[in-house]
Amino acid sequence: MVLSQVKINVTNAYAGSLAWSNFFSRLTHSHPGRVVWLVFNVAIALLLMELGVFSTLEAILGLYSNVAMAWVGALVADLVVNKPLGLSPPQIEFKRAHLHDYNPVGLGSMLVASLVATAAFTGVFGGSVKAFASFIALGLAFVLAPAIAILTRGKYYIARTDTYSESTHPLNCCICEQEYEPQDMAFCPIYGDSICSLCCSLDACCNDACKATPDKNRFVSEAQTTTQTTTQTNKELGLFQSKLSPQLGVRLLKYSALFLVLSVLVAASLGFVYYQQVAAVPDIPAIAAQQLTATLIEVYAVFLVLIGIGAWLLVLTQESRQLAQEELDERNLQLQQEVQERNLAEAQLQEKAKQLEQTLHNLQQTEAHLIQTEKMAALGGLVAGIAHEINTQLGLAVTAASLLMEKTIAFSERFKGGAMKRSDLEKFLDLAQQSSRMTLSNLERAAELIHSFKQVAVDQSSESKRLFNLKTYLEEILLQLSPKLKATSHQVEVRGDRQLTLMSYPGAFSQIVTNLIMNSLLHAYKPDETGHITLSFEQTQEQIIFTYVDDGSGIAPENLGKIFEPFFTTKRGQGGSGLGLHIVYNLVTRKLKGTIQCESRLGEGTKFVIGLLNSEVNP
């Protein structure tokens, strides 16, 4: 018997903890745990026992039974009447996200039935009706539930449709990240993902945004319209229009409702005390009854003052929290917009970066193509000049040979006719010697041109690295440029150790020297000027220093930093492409791994100092 009673008490305490937990989690949006409420419920039970609850247990249970029977009647009516008749949804919904804040079918029927039954229990309708107070609560709630459901057309049961009604696999909550069945999940528009019923009940930031209905919007619009009308009336009357807040009407309405509810609860509690101490005791003296009544009235008056102050503080606190939450939501929205804008800007920047990379790649390809074209053009000009020079030497040789042949035929005829004199023999021998010398000289010159052209042309079209004599190779380059140099009166001088060799790329070196000389011919001198160009080189401890100097017009200071830039030229349309010195810079720094510096002053000429690594010295 003792064990059974203990088990019953523990079960009741646990059931009460469930009720406390559900109530306060919905009211305060916090969930300290059911163990806390279990201890709280047991503590209340012990407190009531110590206060002598058994002496008034009958009256308490009798009063509570009216509320319990009203709740049972509303619940039974909804299950056995409303659902079969289609007045309520077929399923039982429990998730906060899918329920309205209140349902007049259950709340209204239970409240009305509880009030009527409580009035009957206190003897308002007579002693005979008092005995049937519980049955009145049960029957009245059973009848009112279908009636209110018909009047409201059952639209307060479900606030919105279930997004996961057809889902069969478990879902993860976006807040606690736990896995639940679809029946315990709802879609939250604030977080944009699924949320479990517990996290939904504990969330205090959404303000039930998922249940925005036309009725709620209409109510808000009507409230705003009422406030605007009140404000307009105040403006027309000119009364306190600078003192009153537009939300004062809503604030007073909340305060009045809260004050009324708390006042009724305190009045009911004090009334229950009056009932137990005065009305339920028939032989109490009249003076004691009057004193107790006056004391209860004074206590109630004090409570009214405290309730008024507390209700106003609660309204202001709730309003402050709501304003802070709205400001926080606005800040979060601004942050989200900023994040979206930054992501969009980042995507645009990445797209621009890709476009710039593609453009840079295209420019590099175009530059490489132009540089190659410039090289081929220079090589083509070299071929044309060498061809003209060789043609001149061969023409002179052919002329000398033709003259020698003609004189030889004439001399042979004189010899056969017996008319040859000693003077004719001397003249023929002298002519033969001069013609042979001229022919041999021009043929040797042509052979020298062909040999040097062959070596330089092969070097310029090849990427191979070899050892070459620096001064000899410079002379071969100048020999190839002799057709260009002969058209001017400039002098080119080569200075340096004739035994010095360089292990490098002769083709790139030839291109560098050719471009520097052609740049001087185009930019440094006027057509009728006579200039002097010096090519010098020397071996240092780490590298070979090649110096190119001309005594031309020099470079303007504002252009000195731009001469190595691609397509920069001061002779646009006059033969300048803007790639000559750019090719020189790229060949020196990239191909030969060297350095190049330029010094120049207007009217004093230009000097290029090139440092070249010599692999023969620095392997």
Q: For residue range 71-110, list pLDDT tens digits in order.
A: 899 989 888 888 888 888 887 777 777 788 778 888 889 9
pLDDT level of residue 231 (50, 70, 90 thresholds): very low
For residue 194, pLDDT beyond 90:
no
The average pLDDT across 496-515 equals: 88
Of 58-67, 526-535, 568-577, the poorest mean pLDDT is in 568-577
- Crossing angle between the packed helical segments 286-417 and 248-274, to the nearest 10 degrees: 140
CA dist 14 and 19 (Å) reads 9
More confident residue, 575 or 560: 560
Residue type at 458? Answer: V
- Report percent pLDDT > 70 for the chain: 79
Residue type at 390? Answer: I
Cβ neighbours of 79 (radius 10 Å): 13
pLDDT level of residue 454 (50, 70, 90 thresholds): low
The average pLDDT across 509-524 equals: 87
For residue 533, pLDDT beyond 90:
yes
CA dist 612 and 587 (Å) reads 11
101 φ/ψ sector (left φ>0, alpha ψ -120 to 50, else beta): alpha
Strand 491-495 and strand 171-172: pairing? unpaired
Give the mean pLDDT of the chain: 78
Enumerate residues 6+ apart whose C-beta is below 8 A from 18: 34, 37
Q: In this predicted model, what pLDDT tens digit does every residue of 380-422 receive, in sequence order?
A: 655 665 666 677 767 777 777 887 787 788 778 777 777 777 7
DSSP states along 573-586: TTTB-S-HHHHHHH
More confident residue, 58 or 412: 412
DSSP states along 153-166: TTTTS-SS--TTTT
Order the strands of the 491-495 sheet from edge to edge.
491-495, 532-539, 544-550, 605-612, 595-601
Residue showing tokens 């403006």: 235
Tell me the whole-structure pTM to 2 decimals.
0.43
pLDDT at res. 495? 92
Closest by CA to 494, choosing from 530, 457, 456, 532, is 532
DSSP state of 569: -
Enumerate residues 6+ apart whose C-beta is below 8 A from 81: 87, 142, 145, 146
pLDDT at res. 606? 93
| 8-15 own/partner pairs: CB under 8 Å, 24+ apart | 9/45, 13/38, 13/41, 13/42, 13/45, 14/38
CA dist 256 and 325 (Å) reads 24
The average pLDDT across 159-177 equals: 81
For residue 237, pLDDT beyond 50:
no
pLDDT at res. 388? 63
Q: In this predicted model, what pLDDT tens digit does every residue of 60-80 receive, in sequence order?
A: 667 778 888 988 999 898 888
CA dist 482 and 390 (Å) reads 11
Q: Which SS3 state, helix, strand or coil, does residue 491 take?
A: strand
Number of H-type helices and E-type strands within the chain? 17, 11
The average pLDDT across 26-55 equals: 67
Are the C-beta atoms of 592 and 505 separated by less than 8 Å?
yes
CA dist 38 and 20 (Å) reads 9
Tell me the HSE value of 500 on the side-chain side, using a 13 A CA sphere: 18
Of 358-372, 383-397, 485-499, the poorest mean pLDDT is in 383-397
For residue 498, pLDDT beyond 80:
yes
DSSP states along 129-151: HHTTHHHHHHHHHHHHHHHHHHH
Q: In this predicted model, what pLDDT tens digit does every residue of 105-164 receive, in sequence order?
A: 888 899 999 889 888 887 788 878 888 888 888 999 999 989 998 998 888 888 877 777
pLDDT level of residue 218 (50, 70, 90 thresholds): very low
Residue showing tokens 């008749």: 85
